[in-house]
Structure 1
Amino acid sequence: MSDVAHLTPSTMLDFRSPAIVRLISQRGWLGLRPSERIGAAYDFVSNEILFGYNMSDTRRASQVLADGYGQCNTKATLLMALLRGLGIPCRLHGFTIDKSLQRGVVPELVYWMAPQNILHSWVEVRLDGRWINLEGFILDNGVLVALQAAFPGRNSLCAYGAGTDCLQSPQTVWHGQDTYIQKTGINADLGLFESPDAFYAHHQQALTGLRRWLYRNGIRHWMNRRVALIRRGLVPKLPGGEATLNPSIRKRVFGVE
């Protein structure tokens, strides 16, 4: 597939929308070298778009930008749109992750409702003739620092939205190399896609009917409140795991013993 296919807009990659055009112009990113353009877009999505859960994976890039938060799939859509708007070829790599990666974010009372295999994706960007994997943009720095502080002697973690074997020094900063933060949670490779539109035309999250309605209208807001608390350093204990929150506060905030 030629670079032309990796530079075009799509319904979800709406980088010609006024909000995205305005953002790129105001930041002056088009005046940067290609590697710096990637870094600028990557840093923006990493930390100015907070880690959180949108209404659906199929939000357009401009909608994710307006939301101001996102998770792996929605942040990937926004990053791809920014990169293509900056003339940087990119594509999507689809996967599934085990739901245990979301434990601590998904409330225990409804954890059973989560699909065992959750759709996941990262962005692959073409620079100097090679493809580079970008996944380390998912957790904003506030969440990552809180997890590092909660587990100071631990490197391997697959919970709270993180899946890494190097928690204290993860590959999350753009230096022209691969970045990761959820890689160890991956349990299936779904292949490469020209756009998120193509990915979701073939793969849909296994959450339908009442469960889908509950997620969109209630559970995701609960999850986002929990992420906000984690960002403040209130990291809940996992069942059978390390306690990082006073039990009385944990019961009041998270509703679990």
Structure 2
Amino acid sequence: MTSRLLMPVRSRGTAPAGVPEPAADPTPGSTRATAILDHGHPLVAALAARAARGGRTDRDRLRAAHRLIVAGVRPVYSVEDRRRASRTLRLGRGSCSQRMAVLEAVARSLGIPTRVRGLLVDGSFWYPRFPRLRPFVPAEVLLAWPEFRLDGGWVPIAGLFDHAGPSREGGFANTGAETLFEAVARTGVDWDAPAACDGTSGACDLSAHLRTDLGRFTSRDELFGRYGQTLCRPARTLAEPVLGRWSAGAA
């Protein structure tokens, strides 16, 4: 059983009222700075400048930025999804959500519009990471899945990388040191395919873990402003000092 006691009241339930149909959602995205995506900060601007030297195309630059973030920001289990991208860079550690925010901030600094898809993912997806803490894992986790405007279309973060065939290491298992942020560069990650992920195909299908698709939002600020974060404020206050320094994959 997963926990609902630690979740904000407004995010409980599997089908929030007023959710738009994803297929008809015209969300445009943006390049402007936000409270989370503070791309005018010198740390974000410096990272964007380094990424800009990583290739001729926007896709190449985003891949370069991803590599720089993987190399420079240690993966941890921080629960503060609204943390500024600049603070994540200054700390040198961040959760998947926080490091995705850094990538979005860099993209916007480079003039590449971004938006996010709001996903409510079953808490059991994180059981392999917290085998002894299952009763405290939230019933569902709110995930802001980034999308980037490239070549006239919207490309999800996993689509930035080429996955021509099955990964030799298999699909994403959500265990060990590799997190979703690293995995997208190695294997496909798909929240829409019809069958459960078994790690045998080039695209790792995670659709069986998806509870609710909340649609697209111009920014993660907008998503979290409407639905709140995964944990309520008291739970975040108590958990962050420990989880915010707990390295992914550490015993």
Fold conserved between structures, TM > 0.5: yes
For 2:89 and 2:203, the matched residues in 1 are separated by 22
Conserved in 1, the CA contact under 8 Å of 2:76 and 2:93?
A: yes
- SS in structure 1 opposite 2:188? coil
- Matching of residues 111-130 of structure 1 within 5 Å: 111-130=134-153
Q: Establish whether residue 44 from structure 1 lines up as the match of residue 68 from structure 2.
A: yes
For 1:156 and 1:75, the matched residues in 2 are separated by 18
Conserved in 1, the CA contact under 8 Å of 2:146 and 2:157?
A: yes
For 1:214 and 1:66, the matched residues in 2 are separated by 22
Q: Partner letter of residue 66 of structure 1?
A: R
Conserved in 1, the CA contact under 8 Å of 2:122 and 2:139?
A: yes
In structure 2, the CA distance between the partners of 1:65 and 1:228, relative to structure 1 (3 Å rule), is same
Q: Deviations over 1:209-242 (max 9, x none)?
A: 6533331233454xx24x253xxxxxxxxxxxxx
Give the share of equivalent positions with the same residue, in percent: 25
- Matching of residues 1-257 of structure 1 within 5 Å: 6-29=30-53, 32-106=56-130, 108=132, 110-135=133-158, 148=169, 157=173, 170-171=187-188, 184-208=208-232, 210-221=234-245, 224-225=246-247, 227-229=248-250
Unaligned 5+ segments in structure 2 are 1-25, 161-166, 190-201
Superposed CA RMSD in Å reads 3.5
Structure with the largest fraction of helix = 1
Larger RCO (alpha carbons 8 Å, 6+ apart): 2
Conserved in 2, the CA contact under 8 Å of 1:135 and 1:179?
A: no
Larger Rg: 1
Conserved in 2, the CA contact under 8 Å of 1:158 and 1:184?
A: no
In structure 2, the CA distance between the partners of 1:215 and 1:121, relative to structure 1 (3 Å rule), is same
Conserved in 1, the CA contact under 8 Å of 2:44 and 2:102?
A: no
Conserved in 2, the CA contact under 8 Å of 1:162 and 1:181?
A: no
Conserved in 2, the CA contact under 8 Å of 1:72 and 1:121?
A: no
TM value normalised by structure 1: 0.65
Conserved in 2, the CA contact under 8 Å of 1:90 and 1:125?
A: yes
For 1:133 and 1:6, the matched residues in 2 are separated by 15
The total of aligned residue pairs comes to: 204
Question: What is the CA-CA distance between 1:71 and the residue it aligns to?
Answer: 2.5
Q: Deviations over 1:6-32 (max 9, x none)?
A: 111111111110111122234543873
